[in-house]
Amino acid sequence: LDKMSREDAIEDAKKEAVNKALKAGAKEDTIEVLNIEDVPLAYLPGNALLIKVKVVGDLI
């Protein structure tokens, strides 16, 4: 997070999760974010975070 804010990093993770759902066959208008987890990684230098985003959507 030295180069971007926490909010920007979470937004990037959301976009990546949505893109993966689309590639897996989800309908774009049915995709919803179910869960967002962000865990600080104390063993790495700086403000490193592990971000997990779970999205769901109906299949085409």
What are 9-60's pLDDT values in tens digits? 999 999 999 999 999 999 999 999 999 999 999 998 888 999 999 999 999 9
Q: Within 10 Å of residue 53's Cβ, how many Cβ atoms? A: 20
What are the φ and ψ backbone dihedral angles of 18, each rounded to 5 degrees? Answer: -65, -45
Read off the pTM.
0.85
Taking the C-alpha atoms of residue 38 and residue 1, their distance in angstroms, rounded to an integer, is 12
The pLDDT-based confidence of 2 (bands split at 50, 70, 90) is: low
